[in-house]
Amino acid sequence: MGRTKSGKHESNAGSSSGGRGSSLSPVANENSNGASNAIQAEARIKENLKELFNLVREVQDERSRSEHNLTNIARTHERMQQESRVTPYYKTKLKGLYSAAMQDADNESELLRKALDKIKEIKTIRENRRHESDRPKQIMRRGVLMTLLQQNAVTLPLWVSKPGEKPPPLCGAVPADSSYVCKAGDKVAARVKGQDGEENWILAEVVTFTPQSNKYDVDDIDAEEGKERHSISRRRVVPLPIWKANPETDPDALFPKGMLVLALYPQTTCFYRALVEEPPKGPQDDYSVLFEDTSYLDGYSPPLMVAQRYVIACKDDKKK
C-alpha cells in the first residue's frame, strides 16, 4: 500500500504584453481591482485584530473581577468546615456567591465566543484573499506542506457547547447536513482516480461546485495547481471537520473505540481505512488508530496518532 504521493513541481512564469494607447487594458483593470480588494481586506483584518485585542483585554478584566468572588466562596467553605455546621446564613450567602460566579462565568464565556468569532473571521478574510489572488499557487516542499497541515489541525477551533446545546454539523464526527455545499478553499477528502487507474481518497481543496452537474472541481493538495485537478461527483467528496469536539463535554461527537474510519496516514496526503483504537481523551488530543495493512499478521498497523481534523466517516467501497 502506497503511503506517499509525489509530483513534479515546476515554477510558473508570468508574461506581460504592452500596447499602444493611454487607456488601461483589461489586465490592468483587473490588477487595479485586485489591489483595491487587497487594501480593503487588509483594512478589515486590522479592524478585526483591534476588536480582538479589546476582547482579550475584556476577558482578562472579567477574570480579575471574578477572582474576588471565587475567593469569597473558598473562604466561606473554610468557615463552615471550622464550625462543622451549615447555618441559614451560610446557605443564603453561598447561594448568592454561586449565582454571581455563574454569571461571571457566562460573561467570560460570551466574551471568549466573540473572540473566537473574530479569529474565524480573520482567517476567512485571509483565505478569501488567497483565492481571489491571480498569482499562481506557491509550490511547497513536502516537509513544509506536512508542517502546514499539522498546524492547521492544531489550530482548528474547539467547539464549546452552551448548556443543553448539541454540537453542530462538522464538529468532530458529526456529519455535514445532506444539503451542505463546500465552499471554494475548503479542505476535503476526495475519492479520485490516479494515473494508474486506482482510486484513492486524497486530501484536496475545493475550487468550484456546479449545481447543474452536482460536481466539484478539486485540486490535489499535494500537486502543482492545474496538474491534478479533478472533476468528481458530490458523493465522492467528504468535507473535513471545521471544529474539534471536546471529549469532556461532547463525547458523542467523537468516533468511538472500534469504529471504522478514514484517516490521513501520517506524513502523507492520503486517507486510508482504519479502526479507532482510542478516541481523544482531552480537547487537544488526537485519535489513536490502527490502519488496515496486510503487511502485518493481524492485518493492522501499530497504533498511530491522527488529529481530529483528518479523521472522517468511512465510506465502504461498493466495488472490490
Residue by residue, pLDDT tens for the chain (320 residues) are 444 544 333 333 333 344 334 444 555 565 566 677 788 888 888 998 999 899 899 989 888 888 988 999 999 998 888 888 888 888 898 999 999 888 888 888 888 888 888 887 887 787 776 655 544 455 567 788 888 888 889 888 888 887 788 999 999 999 999 899 999 889 999 999 877 778 999 999 999 999 999 999 999 988 754 468 899 999 999 999 999 999 999 999 999 999 999 999 999 999 999 999 999 999 999 999 999 999 999 999 999 999 999 999 997 654 43
Q: How far apart are CA 97 and CA 67, in angstroms?
A: 12
Which helix (H) or strand (E) segment is 4 a member of?
Answer: none
CB neighbourhood size of 67 (10 A): 10
pLDDT of residue 308: 97
Question: Positive or negative, the Cα torsion across 126, 271, 291, 196?
Answer: negative
Q: How far apart are CA 53 and CA 55, in angstroms?
A: 5
Q: How far apart are CA 89 and CA 65, in angstroms?
A: 24
pLDDT of residue 185: 87
| Mutual angle of helices 26-83 and 88-132, in 10-degree steps | 170
Picking from 139, 316, 153, the residue whose alpha carbon sits closest to that of residue 241 is 153
pTM of the predicted protein model: 0.70
Pairing of strands 199-210, 215-220: antiparallel
pLDDT of residue 132: 58
pLDDT of residue 2: 45
The CA–CA distances, whole Å, from 169 to 124, 239, 241 equal: 19, 10, 8
